[in-house]
């Protein structure tokens, strides 16, 4: 780092490399006269690990304060694959997430929800937890394929369980929960420095739901909680972003798409897959006893999507004691019609009503978005056509 830059930043420690192995040297710096907000308890974090850690910690800390519930996030490549608060799981979701026989603390429940929403995307995640990691949560994390974790503290037994992951190299960060970000944040790209005020706006009922332009205006408490969850999640998701939420967890996140309708479709497809994993035929797939959890998860998604080549189909069938009957399009459509009470947030306004049309296919009943499009009237009319409640927050949540 140049001498002019080190007047403002203090070198803390070197990294193995940057985003890619050829981007070396790489290091972590803190602002002058400020300590890092975390300490490394185990492992050697990488560049992307720490980007995930800093973003995900802010997300779960904000969710915890807003919902007054333990919060968890599963991050991949600087966007959440899942995020959730500790809402109890019903028996069906316990079966979907394969945790029926496990002890579930509130924090463990939050992480199971965050990890379970999109498990294929969460493969190799960086975990953020808003409260002290207990033994029950560590036991849930123990078999998961994960790169690291950030939390405010760890119970002694939980810490030992996590230290044993990845042959002792699992990255464990202890964050200072009292650390306050500076008023300004800085970055450099291609020799150009950027500065902006930190996005310290706290999202909640006071600013998200003040203007409801739809004909139906009643918004129950659980819908508000889910919309706050979705909005806070998108605040730390690479834009453009759209997210679906239900029962205290994100069930579909569309991140980093240039087109907002692509975000809505991508997140909606993830939400559909999440819901279809609860179909009785999916829950009843006759796996061989030796098939591991990761392979079971992948096989269920392949079964739902059904777009395998002949060779892929042959390999897929090796997971089962007997070849299961296909999940037909009619069965999928019939099951998806049961989706309801889903909440949807967008980090910027919907420019066309097609986003609402897409949302209607995934059981969306409640929406929060900034508003401000020249076609707001068309979007409001679309929400009215489907009997949705939509709030205009007037708060854009772009994140890059």
- In tens, the pLDDT along 136-151 reads 999 999 999 999 999 9
- In tens, the pLDDT along 206-235 reads 999 989 999 999 999 999 999 999 999 999
- In tens, the pLDDT along 383-394 reads 999 999 999 999
Q: Which two tokens stand for residue 391?
A: 């709030």
Domain stop point among 158, 175, 192: 175
- The sign one gets for the Cα dihedral 155, 158, 162, 163 is positive
- 140-160 in b/e form (b: 16+ CB < 10 A) is bbeebebbbbbbbebeeebbe
Would you say residue 193 lies in a domain? no
Same domain, 163 and 67: yes
Q: Model pTM?
A: 0.95
Would you say residue 313 lies in a domain? yes
Domain count, the chain: 3
Q: How far apart are CA 75 and CA 121, in angstroms?
A: 9
Residue 117 CA, distance from chain mean position: 8
Residue 321, domain extent: 286-325
Would you say residue 5 lies in a domain? no
- In tens, the pLDDT along 73-111 reads 999 999 999 999 999 999 999 999 999 988 899 999 999
* Residues tagged active-site: 76-77, 240, 400
Q: How far apart are CA 300 and CA 54, in angstroms?
A: 32
- From the CB of residue 192, how many other CB atoms can be counted at a distance below 10 Å? 7
Same domain, 243 and 315: no
Residue 379 vs residues 243, 389, 397: alpha-carbon distances, Å: 17, 12, 19
Same domain, 226 and 132: no
Residues with pLDDT less than 50, the chain: 1
């Amino acid at each position: 780092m140049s001498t002019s830059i080190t007047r403002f930043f203090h070198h803390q420690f070197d990294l193995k490399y940057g985003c890619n192995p050829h981007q070396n040297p790489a290091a972590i710096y803190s602002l002058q006269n400020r300590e890092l907000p975390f300490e490394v308890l185990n492992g050697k974090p990488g560049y992307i690990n720490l980007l995930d850690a800093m973003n995900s910690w802010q997300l779960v800390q904000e969710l915890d304060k807003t919902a007054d519930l333990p919060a968890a996030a599963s991050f991949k490549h600087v966007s959440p694959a899942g995020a959730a608060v500790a809402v109890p799981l019903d028996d069906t979701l316990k079966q979907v997430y394969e945790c029926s026989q496990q002890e579930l603390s509130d924090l463990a429940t939050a992480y199971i929800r965050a990890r379970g929403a999109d498990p294929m995307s969460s493969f190799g995640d960086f975990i953020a937890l808003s409260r002290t990691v207990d033994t029950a949560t560590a036991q849930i994390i123990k078999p998961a394929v994960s790169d690291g974790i950030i939390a405010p503290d760890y119970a002694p037994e939980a810490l030992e369980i996590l230290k044993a992951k990845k042959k002792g190299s699992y990255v464990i960060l202890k964050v200072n929960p009292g650390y306050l970000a500076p008023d300004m944040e800085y970055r450099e790209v291609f020799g150009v420095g950027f500065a902006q005020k930190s996005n310290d706006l706290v999202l909640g009922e006071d600013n998200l739901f003040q203007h409801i332009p739809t004909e139906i205006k009643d918004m129950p408490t659980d819908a508000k909680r889910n919309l706050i969850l979705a909005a806070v999640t998108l605040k730390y998701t690479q834009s453009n972003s759209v997210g679906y939420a239900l029962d205290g967890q994100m069930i579909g996140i569309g991140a980093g798409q240039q087109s907002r309708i692509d975000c809505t479709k991508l997140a909606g497809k993830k939400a559909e897959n999440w819901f279809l994993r609860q179909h009785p035929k999916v829950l009843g797939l006759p796996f061989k006893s030796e098939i591991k959890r990761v392979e079971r998860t992948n096989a269920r998604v392949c079964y739902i999507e059904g777009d395998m080549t002949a060779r892929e189909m042959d390999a897929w069938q090796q997971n089962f004691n007997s070849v299961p009957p296909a999940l037909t399009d009619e069965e999928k459509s019939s099951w998806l019609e049961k989706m309801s009470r889903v909440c949807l947030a967008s980090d910027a306004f919907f420019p066309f009503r097609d986003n609402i049309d897409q949302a209607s296919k995934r059981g969306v009943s409640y929406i929060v978005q900034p508003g401000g499009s020249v076609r707001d009237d068309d979007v409001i009319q679309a929400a009215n056509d489907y009997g949705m409640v939509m709030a205009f927050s007037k708060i854009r949540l772009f994140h890059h």
